[in-house]
Amino acid sequence: MAQLYDAITHNKRNSVFLILAFILIVGLLSYFLGIFFASPAIGLIFGFFFILVMMLIGYYGGNSLILAMHKAKEVQKKDDPYLVNTVEGLALAAGIPTPKIYMIEESSPNAFATGRDPKHASITVTSGLRSSLDRQELEGVIAHEMSHIKNFDIRYMMLVTILAGVVVLLSDFILRSFLFGGARSHNRKGGGIFLVLILLGIALAILSPIIAQIIKFAASRQREYLADASGAMLTRNPQGLANALKKIRDAKDKVVDDANKATAHLFIENPLRGLGGMNQLFSTHPDINERIRRLEKM
C-alpha cells in the first residue's frame, strides 16, 4: 500500500511540472507575438487574457458540450437500477456527491468522466461496456472514473486541453502574421537582432504544437495510472479493473464512433486505437498491458 501512495504522490508532482511547462510555452509564444506587433508586455497580457477567456468557456460549458458531442443520454434508476446503485455506492465510499450517469449507444466498450468538480460531474459508459462486464469489472471501471472526479482530474485535463488548444492557436497566429508581413516594419527598425528574434519565434511556433501534444499525452498517461491506483484503493479489488481492461483490450470493436482527438484523453482507454497509424503512435493513454500488470501486482 505504501508503494501505491508513493505512485500517487509521484504522479501529482509530475502533473504540476507538466502544467508549468504548458504555461511557459504559452508565455514564450505570447512574448514573441508581442515583439512582432507592439511590445512583449502587451503580448503577454493578450496571451494570458486569451487563456482566461478560453478557460471560462470550458469551465462552464465544456461538460455539456462533450456529452452532446457523444450523443450521451442520462440514465435514471428506472432505466438501469444496478448501474445507478453501483455509482451511488462508490460515490458514497469515495465521499463525493453522486455524479450524473450517462450512456452512449456504442458497441465498443469504454467509459469516461467529465465535469468541473465533484459537484458538477458525470460518468458516461458505452452500452458495449455495460453489457460485457460482470459486477466486479463494472465496479472497477466506475471506481476508476470516480477517482478521476475525486482527484479533480476532470478539471485538470480540461485545463490541459485548453492550454494545448491555446498553444496551437497562438502558434498558428504567429506563423500567419509573419507570412502576411505583420512584422516587416519592426524588422526594418530592429535590424539583425530582430531578425534573430523572428527566427526564434517562428521555430518556437512550429515546434510548440508538437511539444504541447507530447505534454498533453504525458499528462493524460500519468492521470490514468493515478486513477487506476485510486480506483483499486476504492474497491479494494484491483483484479476487477484489471479484468475489465483485458475485455476492453480484446474487444472486437475498438473505435468509439463519435470520439475524436480532442476528447480521446477522457476515456478509460484510447477510443481511436482501432484506427491504427498516428492514432496509436500518439495515444493519450499508457500501454494497457502495463496498466494490467501494475494492477495485478497490487
CA distance 87 to 190: 62
CB atoms within 10 A of CB 262: 12
Q: Is 137 a catalytic residue?
A: no
Q: How many helices and strands in the chain, by DSSP H and E?
A: 10, 4
CA distance 139 to 22: 34
Which residue in 47, 4, 5, 12 sits closest to 223, CA to CA? 12
Contact of 271 with 251, CB cutoff 8 Å: no
Residue 2, amino acid: A
Alpha-carbon distances of 136 from 96, 142, 226, 243, 296, rounded to whole Å: 21, 10, 20, 9, 14
Which residue in 119, 122, 22 sits closest to 70, CA to CA? 122
CB atoms within 10 A of CB 24: 10
Which of 145, 224, 269, 296 is labelled catalytic? Answer: 145
Which residues are annotated as catalytic?
145
